[in-house]
C-alpha cells in the first residue's frame, strides 16, 4: 500500500538534503531559457553548470550528481554531445532527466530521441503533447504519431497522456512527469497528481524547462518518483504564492524565483496532491 505520509516525509528529506548539500547538476539545455533554468536550480539549493561540447558534457556527467538534458533549441553539435553524455550517465549509473521539447520537429531531434531510449533516462519530463509523442516515437502503448506536435507548447490535456506516461516509466524503470494545470507524476505503478501553480506559468517561457532542471537537482537526493513529485510540488506552491503578489508575467517570473527560494520543506510536502495505483 502507498502511504501518503511516507511520501511527504521523503519530500521533506529531499528538500532538506539539497539545501544542505548544494549538489552540482550539469545541464545541456536550450538557449531560450538557459538562464532561468540555472536560476531556478540555484533557488532550490542546487549548483548549476551549463555546457554544449561533448567532452565537457562527459566531464560534467561524471563530476555532477545528476544531469539535465533538454532538446529545446537544436544544433548539429548535439549529434555528438547527446549520445556521448547519455551513454556516460547510463554507464556511471548517474540520474539524468530528459526533456523531449518539440519532439517531432526535424530529423536530427527525432533520430537522437530514438537513440537515447537505450540509455534509460531516470526521469522524463514534458508537457502532455511531448509525452504522448515520445511514447509514440518509442512505439509504446498510449503514444501518438509525431505529426500531431505543433511546437513547444502543449495542445493536449495531462490526463490524455496518462497511459503514455505509465508506459514510458515502465520502459525506463524510472519516473515520468507530465506538466499542465495539474501535474501527473508516475513511476509506472503509482500515479501522483500535484495541484497548484498559476496561469502565468503558461505566459512565461521556461517554466517547464526549469522544472526539468529542478527535477534533476532533487534526483541527487531522492528516488526518481520523489524527485519529480518534489519538484512539481515546489513549482505548484511557488506558482500559487507568486500569482497573489503580481499582476503580469514579467513580475511573476521574478516573484516565482523568490517563492522557490523561500518555500520550506514542510509547506512543499503539504502542497495538495493525491495518489492512485496504476
Ligand X SMILES: Nc1ncnc2c1ncn2[C@@H]1O[C@H](COP(=O)(O)OP(=O)(O)OP(=O)(O)O)[C@@H](O)[C@H]1O
Q: Which residues bind ligand TZE (CB under 6 A)?
A: 30, 32-33, 72-73, 101, 152, 205-206, 209
Q: Which is nearer to ligand TZE, 101 or 175 (CB)?
A: 101
Q: How far apart are CA 181 and CA 258, in angstroms?
A: 21
Q: Judged by CB under 5 A, does residue 180 bind Mg ion?
A: no
Q: Does 121 bind Mg ion (CB under 5 A)?
A: no
Round to whole Å and give the CA distance between 163 and 136.
Answer: 11
Decide: is 104 part of the binding site for Mg ion (CB under 5 A): no
Residue 201 touches which of Mg ion, ligand X, ligand TZE, none (Cβ within 5-8 Å per kind): ligand X
Residue 198 touches which of ligand X, Mg ion, ligand TZE, none (Cβ within 5-8 Å per kind): ligand X
Please state, in angstroms and rounded to a whole number, the distance separating the CA atoms of residues 247 and 267: 24
Judged by beta carbon, residue 64 or residue 253, the one nearer ligand X is: 253
Judged by beta carbon distances under 5 to 8 A according to partner kind, the member of Mg ion, ligand X, ligand TZE, none in contact with residue 141 is none
Instruction: Annotate 18-50 with three-state secondary structure.
Output: HHHHCCEEEEECCCCCHHHHHHHHHHCCCEEEE
Select from 153, 245, 251, 266 the one that contacts ligand X (CB under 6 A).
Answer: 153
Contacts of 157-164 spanning 24+ positions with Cβ under 8 A: 157/128, 158/128, 158/182, 158/183, 158/184, 159/184, 160/128, 160/132, 161/128, 161/129, 161/131, 161/132, 161/135, 162/186, 162/191, 164/131, 164/132, 164/134, 164/135, 164/136, 164/140
Cβ 232 to ligand X shortest distance, Å = 6
**Integer Cα distance of 213 and 260 in angstroms:** 13
* Beta-bridge mates of residue 98: 69, 124
Q: Quote the cell numbers at residue 73.
A: 533549441
Q: Which residue is nearest to ligand X (CB)?
A: 208
In the complex with Mg ion, which residue's Cβ is closer, 26 or 208?
A: 208
Give, in degrees to the nearest 5, the angle at Cα 152 between 146 and 154. Answer: 75
* Nearer of residues 98 and 226 to Mg ion, judged by Cβ: 98
User: From the list Mg ion, ligand X, ligand TZE, none, which binds 207 (C-beta under 5 to 8 Å, kind-based)?
Assistant: ligand X
Question: How far apart, in Å, do the first and last CA atoms of the chain sit?
Answer: 12
183 touches, from Mg ion, ligand X, ligand TZE, none (C-beta below 5 to 8 Å by class):
ligand X
30 binds, among ligand TZE, Mg ion, ligand X, none (CB under 5 to 8 A by kind): ligand TZE
Going by the annotation, the residues of the binding site for ATP are 125, 179
Binding region for ligand X (CB under 6 A):
101, 127, 152-154, 179-181, 183, 197-199, 201-202, 205-209, 211, 232, 235-236, 239
Amino acid at each position: 500500500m502507498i502511504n501518503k505520509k511516507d511520501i511527504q516525509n521523503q519530500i521533506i528529506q529531499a528538500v532538506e538534503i539539497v539545501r544542505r548539500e548544494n549538489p552540482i547538476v550539469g545541464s545541456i539545455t536550450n538557449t531560450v531559457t538557459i538562464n532561468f533554468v540555472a536560476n531556478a536550480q540555484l533557488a532550490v539549493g542546487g549548483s548549476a553548470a551549463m555546457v554544449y561540447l561533448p567532452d565537457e558534457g562527459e566531464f560534467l556527467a561524471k563530476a555532477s550528481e545528476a544531469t539535465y538534458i533538454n532538446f529545446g533549441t537544436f544544433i548539429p553539435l548535439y549529434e555528438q554531445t547527446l549520445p556521448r553524455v547519455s551513454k556516460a550517465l547510463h554507464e556511471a549509473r548517474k540520474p539524468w532527466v530528459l526533456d523531449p521539447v518539440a519532439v517531432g520537429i526535424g530529423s536530427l531531434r527525432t533520430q537522437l530521441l530514438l537513440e537515447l531510449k537505450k540509455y534509460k533516462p531516470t526521469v522524463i519530463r514534458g508537457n502532455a503533447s511531448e509525452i504522448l509523442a515520445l511514447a509514440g516515437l518509442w512505439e509504446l502503448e498510449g503514444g501518438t504519431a509525431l505529426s500531431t506536435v505543433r511546437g513547444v507548447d502543449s495542445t493536449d490535456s495531462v490526463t490524455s497522456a496518462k497511459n503514455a506516461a505509465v508506459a514510458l516509466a515502465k520502459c525506463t524503470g524510472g519516473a515520468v512527469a507530465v506538466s499542465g494545470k495539474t501535474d501527473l507524476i508516475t513511476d509506472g505503478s503509482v500515479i501522483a497528481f500535484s495541484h497548484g501553480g498559476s496561469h502565468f506559468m503558461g505566459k512565461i517561457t521556461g517554466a517547464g524547462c526549469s522544472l526539468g532542471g529542478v527535477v534533476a537537482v532533487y534526483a541527487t537526493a531522492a528516488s526518481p518518483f520523489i524527485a519529480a513529485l518534489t519538484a512539481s510540488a515546489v513549482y505548484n506552491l511557488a506558482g500559487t504564492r507568486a500569482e497573489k503578489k503580481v499582476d503580469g508575467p514579467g513580475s511573476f517570473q521574478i516573484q516565482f524565483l523568490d517563492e522557490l527560494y523561500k518555500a520550506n520543506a514542510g509547506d512543499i510536502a503539504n502542497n495538495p496532491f493525491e495518489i492512485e495505483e496504476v
